[in-house]
Structure 1
């Protein structure tokens, strides 16, 4: 059974202000919880069904506190409409300050609002070996439950750094590419070398004027049809694939 104290805490973690105050977030579902435990992130509490603990008895010792509960209890405190496995309450990691690394790609997110888009971008970064995302302060919180669910286990391997993007980009030693509707085609770029910053903007308004001033090369995905624009998650996949492929030649 999930106690009233823990139930209240987990429900509060749906909101950013309480995640920030408590420095905690939660992960739900069998696969995601097992990945968090395998990665040895500090799990403060683990709640699971009897079936989950029967199939993975070692997990009972991998958290500071473990307790059996019903699937309906997991569904009541979490966001999943169906969860017959587990939910983990995890400490938010404290990352070292971002340091630019020559030859490496870094994604830069300027006010990306949708949790699903951010989760998708985290998975794309993980797929292509990008280990750091720079996020404006108004980009959706990385530990939003919808971001965690959308990112799958990739949030364990990609570090998100939040703050004012301008200082990072103004002192960049590598090229700063920005995704715009008008720019050089990503299919035909001649890259000086591998690595740099890839800036992606807000879903509705694109890259802000302040951040656009830091971009030294505008790039675009050429359209062959009549669609007005691409979803930022899809756009990030196309751009990253092309830049990583071209820089690998």
Structure 2
């Protein structure tokens, strides 16, 4: 069983400052936990409150203690405390950049899509939501362990990188009009405000997803747009 100190320590991981200090994050649900283990993620502790899951691999706690650890409205009964993956230095092909993204569900979905389309690196502005937020981890379906995610001064990063920078805008050049190069940086903005002005100032080329003439929707969800843009990127060999 968990000690009182462990329970207190792991419960604090709901907050970013403690995740950063400990280098740990929580993933909930047996499928997600097992998937992270298969991907090579290192578990600090695996926890359950279900008798049938109480094996040598899982530590059993009572339901009340499990609810203290969980961030879900309806806890699944299984969670893992994992060590944050180490930066492996991968940075080939396209880089995805996120400018002020705030919704953890969008973050997780974007990481899952990046994993699917073969991107290995995501660079975020300092005010972008934490990729290890429990909801982001949940939405990533384990892909948070496969993608190199870093937080920095995004404008400075874009200026220093020797790669063409593409920004997603409503008034940009249609994706199908000109082929994209084999490598570059694709910038996506905040859900409501888009890419901020200071970031837009260092973008080389504005691109957009063409809207059907009969469409009534004003815009696309940023995670949906990210998937469409990533699908259009040249395939990595």
Gaps of at least 5 residues in structure 1 are 61-65
Q: Residue 228 of structure 1 aligns with which residue?
A: 218
The gaps in structure 2 that reach 5 residues or longer are none
How far off its partner does 1:91 sit? 1.9
Question: Quick check: 1:238 aligned with 2:228?
Answer: yes
What does residue 35 of structure 2 align with?
35
* Matching residue of 2:105: 116
> CA offset at residue 186 of structure 1?
1.3
SS in 1 for 2:27: strand
Distance in 2 separating the partners of 1:131 and 1:5: 36
2:186 to 177, 198, 203: 198
Query: Which has the higher mean CA deviation after the structures are superposed, 236-245 or 173-182?
Result: 236-245
2:141 aligns to what SS in structure 1? helix
Deviation at 1:230, TM superposition (A): 1.4
Q: Which moved more, 1:84-93 or 1:162-171?
A: 84-93
Task: Tell me what 2:52 maps to.
Answer: 51
In structure 1, the residue matched to 2:196 is 208
What TM-score, normalized by structure 1, do the two folds share?
0.85
- Alpha-carbon distance in 1 for matches of 2:191, 2:185: 19
Count of aligned residue pairs for this structure pair: 234
Partner of 1:93: 85
> Within 1, Cα distance between the matches of 2:76 and 2:187?
39
| Offset, 1:164 | 0.8
Q: Indicate the RMSD between aligned Cα atoms, in angstroms.
A: 2.2
Matches within 5 A, 1:139-218: 139-191=128-180, 193-218=181-206
Q: 1:33/1:180 Cα in 2 relative to 1: closer, same or farther (>3 Å)?
A: same
Q: Distance in 2 between matches of 1:120 and 1:39?
A: 18
State whether residues 50 and 69 of structure 1, in contact with CA within 8 Å, keep that contact through their aligned partners in structure 2.
no
Instruction: State which of 55, 67, 76 in structure 2 corresponds to 1:75.
Output: 67
Matched, 1:128 2:129: no
CA distance in 1 between partners of 2:33 and 2:234 (Å): 31
Q: Distance in 1 between matches of 2:211 and 2:63?
A: 46
Does the CA contact (< 8 Å) of 1:132 and 1:158 recur in 2? yes
Secondary structure of 1:150's counterpart equals: helix
8 A contact 2:158–2:165 mirrored in 1:
yes
Residue 242 of structure 1 and its aligned partner are, at CA, apart by: 1.9
Contact between 2:91 and 2:120, CA under 8 Å: does it hold in 1?
no
Further displaced range: 219-228 or 233-242: 219-228
For 1:134, what is the secondary structure of its paired residue?
A: strand
Q: Deviations over 1:229-249 (max 9, x none)?
A: 21111110111112336x99x
| 8 A contact 2:90–2:148 mirrored in 1 | no
